[in-house]
Amino acid sequence: MKFLILASLAGSLTGFRKPLIQALVSQGLEVHATAPELLDNKKIISELSAMGVTCHDAPLSRTGMNPVSDLKTLFALHRLMKKIKPDYFLGYTIKPVIYGNLAATLAGVPYRFALITGLGYTFIDGQSLKRKLASKLAHVLYKAALSKTHKVFFQNPDDEALFRQLGLLPINIPSVVVNGSGVPVHEYPNTPVSNYEQPTFLLIARLLGDKGVHEYAAAAQIVKRQYPQVEFGLVGRTDMNPNSISQNELDSWVNNNVLVAYGQQSDVKPFIAACSVYVLPSYREGTPRTVLEAMSMGRAIITTDAPGCRETVIDGDNGFLIAVKDSDALAEAMLKFIKQPELIVRMGKRSREMAEQKYDVHKVNHHMLSEMGIISVR
């Protein structure tokens, strides 16, 4: 049996899907992985090949919707699938879900699955004509692609409900909510906070407005009026996304001592270990992987009462939930940790417990393989 997995970023295959791929291989499947420019990345190929995975390039542009380019992508994926002849297909993120499942249908792949890891740019409210047109086109394409799947996986119940409400997922197509991508709790060990009486805060994200970076910077400015010594770390890089933070804006925050920017990091564990409280003021997520990593390492969390984010925090138990786009509420939550540092230890302990009980990657992957009917297939 052959399994083909399609990603929009080569790095995500090893960064986010490695345990899933390992689980597939362990079931005796011949696994093929494809992503844009995958064959140019020797490190990723080496890692995947060591697991027994066969790698392929996918001519897919992660951002933008060019009809001619996307049509070429569709036909190229179709040719690849006719060559591989997979029994199973799984695409995740918008373009792999849409064009991957359409291509898999045309190629006659017997079992086709989609993993909705978040809704992204085209589902966040916006007034620009470009965003509205992109949203309408995405809805049309999602509906066409998902009507050809055998099952759709969501990472939170809000996304599942929205797809049903908008008619993007036909009533006859089953869907399943899983606990995000999970987190390998053994790789993100519980790490005591070194100095919780002088809290430091951290946000790890692509530097997009929709991740709440503006609110994070604004809250940092509010807190620093009372506690100028408090540090607010930021790990991540600017992005091609239309909603990206500008380099000038980032430089302004750094130069004015609002944020400490660490740039893109291949290993975030040292940065999580060095912080006291993890913050993600995102407008919407699938299930935020960075929050799960911080929870696994025993960190209290501040995040938004938004789809995907709210599932990770029990307000007042392992952290605080705040309203979306509310920098004042974010600052108020930060001040609670500064004034009551004992919360950092108590809530961090609960985060670790929740990570072990609910978000262990092996439990999440077992759920997915069972729903795909693979656990009993050899």
pLDDT, tens only, 82-121: 999 999 999 999 999 999 999 999 999 999 999 999 876 6
Between the CA of residue 168 and those of 126, 164, 188, 352, what are the distances in Å?
20, 6, 36, 36
| Distance between CA atoms of residues 289 and 301, nearest Å | 13
Asked if 14 and 44 count as a contact pair (C-beta separation under 8 A), the reply is yes
Task: Tell me the helices (H) and strands (E) count for the chain, helix number first.
Answer: 14, 13
| Distance between CA atoms of residues 365 and 344, nearest Å | 30
- CB-based contacts of 162: which residues, under 8 Å, 6+ apart? 119, 123, 307
State residue 134's pLDDT score. Answer: 74
State residue 349's pLDDT score. Answer: 98
State residue 79's pLDDT score. Answer: 96
- Six token digits for residue 158: 């809000």
Q: What percent of the chain has pLDDT over 70?
A: 95
- CB-based contacts of 71: which residues, under 8 Å, 6+ apart? none
Closest CA to 124 of 114, 145, 138: 138
> pLDDT tens across 154-208, in order?
999 999 999 999 999 999 999 999 999 999 999 999 999 987 788 999 999 999 9
Q: How long a stretch of residues is the chain?
A: 378
Domain with CATH 3.40.50.2000 in the chain: 2-182+360-371, 201-358
Neighbours of 94 (CB within 10 A): 24
User: In which residue ranges of the chain is pLDDT below 50?
Assistant: 377-378
| Distance between CA atoms of residues 155 and 172, nearest Å | 20
- In CATH, the number for domain 201-358 is 3.40.50.2000
Whole-prediction pTM: 0.88
Q: What is the DSSP string of 151-173?
A: EEEESSHHHHHHHHHTT-S-TTS
CATH class of domain segment(s) 2-182+360-371: alpha beta
